[in-house]
Amino acid sequence: MNRFPLIAPAFLRIGITVVYLWFGLQQLISPLMWVSYIPKSIVALSPVSAQMLVYCNGAFEIVFGLALLFGFFTRVSALLLAVHMLDITLIVGYNAIGVRDYGIVIATFAVFFFGPDVLSLDSFFRKSKEGIVQGTNI
């Protein structure tokens, strides 16, 4: 049997996670570089500074990116990141950045729809739990 189809979802999950982690780290390291990407209308409505919004966005992408990397609460993490990125895509609009972000949205929704893959912690915990339940029936 060809095993590559079994790990393809894991490659997608890990690959898309690298994007979220890279952007999240960049926002935490150099928040001032990202402030100009926040629409002025959002900054005006926010009770915190634009720099704090960048920090929060970066932290969100790091936290849920790490959860997605390890396949921990895979569907929840993927859904939150996909909706988050969809919002960014709609704000950015139709341009080179928006099209790129749309691709990230679609890939992240694909991870959400597939759910835990063979290399995820979710699958590991599920197998461990099933093994314990089956072991008690002996």
* Predicted pLDDT at 135: 55
* Predicted pLDDT at 138: 46
* Predicted pLDDT at 129: 73
* Predicted pLDDT at 50: 96
* Predicted pLDDT at 33: 96
Q: What is the pLDDT along the chain (138 residues), one digit of tens a residue?
A: 566 678 999 999 999 999 999 999 999 999 999 999 999 999 999 999 999 999 999 999 999 999 999 999 999 999 999 999 999 999 988 899 999 999 999 999 999 999 999 999 999 988 877 766 555 544
**Tokens representing residue 64 in the block:** 């849920």
Number of separate domains in the chain: 1
* Domain that includes residue 91, residue range: 4-136
